[in-house]
Structure 1
Amino acid sequence: MQGVSNVQKTANAVIIGGGMIGCSLAYELALRGMKDIVVVEKEYLCSGATGRCGAGVRQQWGTETNAILARDSVKRFEQMNEELEYDMDIEFKQGGYLIVAYTEGEWTQFHKNVAVQKSLDIPVEMVTPEGAREIVPHLNIDGLFGATFCQTDGHANPFHVVDAYAKAARRLGVVFETYTEVTGIVAENGKVKTVETTRGNIDAPLVINAANYAAGKVCKMVDFDLPLYPQRHQALVTEPVEPTQGPMVISFSRRLYCQQTPHGSFIMGVGDPHEPKDFNINSSWDFLEDVSRQVLSVLPLLKNLRVVRQWSGLYDMSPDANPILDEVPDVQGMWVLAGFSGHGFMVGPQTSVLVAQKIMGEKCFMPIEKFGLDRFRRGELLLEPSVV
């Protein structure tokens, strides 16, 4: 734990949140020449949503925006150990994603999704039920319309990824203040001025809110209501067994994702459409029963696996399941990067490039305005159909 010393009094930028988004953005800004960056995290790095995520990385999205961010992030994951000169291994394994359709509506949507993905040169294929079972031999194909498969999708270790970004950022001069909670933000004359923390105040002309599910609370510190709400998602991990499943298997209609890690354990979860909008991260028996029913309907071979533990995390849900990357209205210098709706880890590497390009005055590789807050007022939402 950090000592009781105060934080430094001034910075060029303060980033709130020490997860995937905060740490990767700190690196990208420092890489582009920004000096004197401070990342403030209320606990330890990767202690929030990133450390509780399933850590899957897929490019199979229904909106062009998410597909581009994911496609380019996969390329970054593939080279991350080398790019960040990491002294360990982020454990990025590309076993693929098999996304199955048990309803006609899903299968129709998959045709639309694949058209988007192929237009972006994402190596995805539509497969028959028999073809899907060749990829995952223990898949239940009763009632299956078909599936989509992308071999370059995969899974990484979120703790190692955040550690890699943090170490690379530190080498570029970024300061990380852990166990330091933001208690207030001061703005004067329409500009952000000061970040107040439990270890002192930091004056900065640029404040970046990368606090995930707590981003709404941070925005309220400058009297702005962010259109975002927290939603609990639960997951479990089983005992390790011999390798039996290469790809992640996803069923949207059954709200399920399931993958086998490189260590042999299975990680799985289901989404609950009736989950209340609050900050509850307690675990429940209902989840264990629900995920068991759903996974056995898709992957019946797993019925005798023993559960080692379960946990919960929070999605930062936006109205259209797409991120919000924008400056807060009427508070110049305060940015918000939130609303990833459970997918910030997989699109984080390239999202941080996009935001860093914008902040540093570089040409953005795609129009960042698509992720602006104004889209909600205009009613031009980027509705993402492929969310578990």
Structure 2
Amino acid sequence: MTQPTSIPHYDVIILGAGSVGTPSAMYLAEAGYKVLVLDPGASVGQGSNKKAIGGIRATHSDPAKIRLCLRSLEIFSNWEKWYGEDIEWVQNGYMFMAYREREQKILQDLLVTQKSYGLNIDWYDPQQLLDIVPDLNPEGLLGGTFSPEDGSASPLLSAHRFYEHACRAGADFHFHEPVTKMITRSGKIVAVETPTGTYGADVVINAAGAWARPVAQLVGVDVPVNPDSHESAVTEAVADFLKPMIVDIRPMPGSSNYYFYQHRTGQIFFCITPSPNIWGFDTEETSEFLPMVTRRMVEVMPRLKNLRVRRTWRGLYPMTPDGFPIVGWAEEVENFLLAVGMCGQGYMLGPGLGELILRLVQNQLTENDQETLSFLKPTRQFASQELLK
């Protein structure tokens, strides 16, 4: 039904100007769609995006995320060449270490899937790992995987670049405008309301991150996405000594894994995955975080013990029951596209996913897209588990 002329009408309205919504807006606008992005924040990337530490990897355990992140890596690594803009991209790789047979088996078993989907990764023995990172603790080290094409970039710089290109292509961004209501008619969303406006739309995309569930509930759709609090920190700057992102997936009391890397400024960024999960929207720092994570880091790399921590912060991971994103059309509402539940990996998934969202809206999916979406579909049973969360 045609919207009243008093209501601005858009081809696509995106709810959320973060790691997924902003790249999606760029690709859709560049393809000629009239796009509006609504976000409650003051500017782009002010939700969970600005809390990310910048790691970008295709080293995952499932084909969907491997494929999407391989494309994201291609975009991030070529951004400066394509656009002449610095996003602080550094390609130093990811290293997953094994100090126990359990982790060794997990990492080695995953190589079959990872290699079959095009990931440049191999198993390295202890000496080979030490050749790359001499400061690793060699005691008990069984080996690990290394993927040299993974890397890192600046989440805020990247978000701003996607935003600028989206705006140049004609996308509108309205900040300080949380969605408060979605008007449906005959099983479709016809308009979106905020405290300051009403906007018609042909397609509405939920890219609201940790707030995806309450947004979806506005149209009677329940997506199993719940916010989980994770803490991060950064140290003082020191001379360059560490290249890859170091990931230790051993579950320990209080945490299931942790990871750290040295930024090109010399600072060490690090984060830990709490176990059990810390559900809710609380982003206040805790006293438990630093003692827990630093103990684990110094065990693996004793050289870190003299570094001074400059700042800690806490962000939200929008988690799904199986650790995989939810991407696809909602069954309950015909034109409601879900791009939610990134499980803390929205930054690395965002560019590849943005292109996939464009093809979904265009109804021009490739055979690979169909396979990717089969792993991420909203109607799945959520029975499997991501092994490299």
Fold match by TM threshold 0.5: yes
Alignment correspondent of 1:98: 95
Listed one character per residue, the Cα deviations across residues 23-50 of structure 1 (whole Å, up to 9, x for unaligned) are: 100111122221x211111112110111
The answer as to 2:51 corresponding to 1:49 is: no
**Aligned match for 1:37, one of 21, 35, 38:** 35
Alignment correspondent of 1:372: 377
**Does the aligned pair in 1 maintain the 2:221–2:332 contact within 8 Å?**
no
Alpha-carbon distance in structure 1 between the residues aligned to 2:99 and 2:184: 52
**Aligned match for 1:351, one of 333, 349, 353:** 353
Alignment correspondent of 1:163: 160
Cα displacement (A) at 1:233: 0.6
Cα displacement (A) at 1:98: 1.0
Alignment correspondent of 2:10: 11
Secondary structure, counterpart of 1:207 in structure 2: strand
Alignment correspondent of 1:247: 244
Listed one character per residue, the Cα deviations across residues 235-288 of structure 1 (whole Å, up to 9, x for unaligned) are: 000000000101110001151101000000000011111233211111011001
Alpha-carbon distance in structure 2 between the residues aligned to 1:65 and 1:145: 29
Alignment correspondent of 2:228: 231
Alpha-carbon distance in structure 2 between the residues aligned to 1:82 and 1:188: 46
Amino acid at match of 1:50: N
The answer as to 2:206 corresponding to 1:209 is: yes
Secondary structure, counterpart of 2:305 in structure 1: helix
**Does the aligned pair in 2 maintain the 1:63–1:383 contact within 8 Å?**
no
Alignment correspondent of 1:3: none
Listed one character per residue, the Cα deviations across residues 106-153 of structure 1 (whole Å, up to 9, x for unaligned) are: 111111211112212322121111211111111112222211111111
The answer as to 2:76 corresponding to 1:89 is: no
Alignment correspondent of 1:4: none
Secondary structure, counterpart of 2:20 in structure 1: helix
Alignment correspondent of 2:267: 265
Alignment correspondent of 2:3: none
Map 1:174-323; keep pairs closer than 5 Å: 174-253=171-250, 255-323=257-325
| TM norm structure 2 | 0.93
Map 1:116-131; keep pairs closer than 5 Å: 116-131=113-128
**Does the aligned pair in 1 maintain the 2:35–2:171 contact within 8 Å?**
yes
Secondary structure, counterpart of 1:311 in structure 2: strand
Q: Which runs of 4 or more aligned residues in structure 1 lie more than 6 Å from their structure 2 counterparts after TM superposition?
A: none
Listed one character per residue, the Cα deviations across residues 274-310 of structure 1 (whole Å, up to 9, x for unaligned) are: 2332111110110011111111111110101111100
Alignment correspondent of 2:66: 67
The answer as to 2:353 corresponding to 1:341 is: no
Give me the CA root mean square deviation.
Answer: 1.5
Alignment correspondent of 2:388: 386
Alpha-carbon distance in structure 2 between the residues aligned to 1:120 and 1:12: 34
Alpha-carbon distance in structure 2 between the residues aligned to 1:103 and 1:359: 46
**Does the aligned pair in 1 maintain the 2:20–2:349 contact within 8 Å?**
no
Alpha-carbon distance in structure 2 between the residues aligned to 1:366 and 1:144: 39
**Does the aligned pair in 2 maintain the 1:192–1:334 contact within 8 Å?**
yes
Q: Which moved more, 1:295-304 or 1:109-118?
A: 109-118
Secondary structure, counterpart of 1:331 in structure 2: coil
Listed one character per residue, the Cα deviations across residues 168-192 of structure 1 (whole Å, up to 9, x for unaligned) are: 1111100111122111212122100
Cα displacement (A) at 1:354: 1.2
Q: Which runs of 5+ in 2 are unaligned?
A: 1-5, 252-256
Alpha-carbon distance in structure 2 between the residues aligned to 1:62 and 1:11: 37
**Does the aligned pair in 2 maintain the 1:81–1:89 contact within 8 Å?**
yes
**Does the aligned pair in 2 maintain the 1:37–1:175 contact within 8 Å?**
yes
Alpha-carbon distance in structure 1 between the residues aligned to 2:10 and 2:21: 16
Amino acid at match of 2:297: V
The answer as to 2:135 corresponding to 1:138 is: yes
Cα displacement (A) at 1:382: 5.0
Secondary structure, counterpart of 1:133 in structure 2: helix
Alignment correspondent of 2:254: none
Identical aligned pairs, as a percentage? 29
Alpha-carbon distance in structure 2 between the residues aligned to 1:366 and 1:63: 14
